[in-house]
Amino acid sequence: MRYLILSDIHANWEALTAVWMAAERDGFDQCLCLGDVVGYGANPNECAQWVRERARLVIRGNHEKACTGMADLEDYNPAAETAALWTRNQLTAENAQWVASLPQGPAPLDGFQLAHGSPADEDEYLTTPYQAEELIGFLAEPVTFIGHTHVQGGFRLFRNRAAVIEPVPAKRQTLEYELHPGSMYLINPGAVGQPRDGDSRAAWALFEPGCQRVTYRRVTYDVESAQRKIRAAGLPDVLAWRLSLGK
């Protein structure tokens, strides 16, 4: 079984279609999604529809809560709040219902689990090895996929210590990562639609439990078109320019 793991698509249709084409070439059996399908970008309906039709399992992210009235928008920065309200107005009734119905992580699946922020708190940003070490008691499975930070890589936990897993280097498109028995892993595929690890390319991962391998992937996409649409929609300009920086 080969899983395509997507996270943080953020209504970026150009990034999603580029990832989709590359993933079709790579080959996969099932698609899984770690949330934040919508929010920030200009194509929430297209992205929601795509994920609805193709993903075997999708858990909710904080942006699914924000655009369906399930989160207090005072906790969001002004650009995120504006985008959440804009998204709420754009979603068709059918897509809004689907977004509101997405389950909260962690969600177990075939010996691994999916979470948006962390298995202990769906809204937590897991950014440091110290935070990863604190989670050891919460990890019900040896492999947990996480998103939310928009930083590709994650953490390897071995003998109660966490080590950072680095993203795909700038000059490469693929990084194969072997999983070792006796270690636990928090694997972040990175963000499809709004990377924040200094690399503007769309990010995702493939997971093959049978051979205990994660393949981290990156692909360039039409950033300019995504930016043009964000500006044409009247969304905050920061949401457009940050795409070309990967920040």
Interface positions with Zn ion (CB under 5 A): 8, 36
Residue whose CB is less far from Zn ion, 179 or 191: 191
Q: Is 144 exposed, middle or buried (0-12, 13-18, 19+ CB in 10 A)?
A: buried
Contact at 8 Å (CB) between 39 and 241?
no
Q: In this complex, which beta carbon is closest to Zn ion, that of residue 8 or of residue 122?
A: 8
Least Å distance, CB 10 to Zn ion, is 6
Contact 139, 114 (CB under 8 A): no
Asked if residue 60 lies in contact with residue 103, where contact means CB atoms within 8 angstroms, the answer is yes
Residue nearest Zn ion by beta-carbon distance: 36
**Shortest distance (Å) from residue 87 CB to Zn ion:** 13
What is the distance, to the nearest Å, from the Cα of residue 125 to the centroid of all Cα atoms in its chain?
A: 12
Least gap, CB of 163 to Zn ion (angstroms): 24
CA dist 174 and 194 (Å) reads 19
Taking the complex as a whole, the smallest distance from the CB of residue 216 to Zn ion amounts, in Å, to 18
Pick the closer one to Zn ion by CB: 168 or 191. 191
Nearer to Zn ion, 36 or 122 (CB): 36
Q: Which residue has the tokens 């948006």?
A: 116
Nearer Cβ to Zn ion (76/98) = 76
Quickly list H helices, the chain.
Answer: 13-26, 44-54, 62-66, 78-90, 93-101, 129-134, 223-232, 237-245
Structure tokens at 10: 């953020």
Residue 36 or residue 199: which is nearer to Zn ion going by CB? Answer: 36
CB 76 → Zn ion: shortest distance, Å? 11
Helix (H, G, I), strand (E, B) or coil at 161: strand
CA distances from residue 109 to 1, 25, 176, 193 in whole angstroms, order as listed: 12, 25, 22, 24
The residue among 90 and 194 lying less far from Zn ion, judged by its C-beta, is 194
Q: Rounded to the nearest whole angstrom, what is the least distance from the CB of residue 170 to Zn ion in the complex?
A: 22
Min. distance of Cβ 22 from Zn ion in angstroms? 21
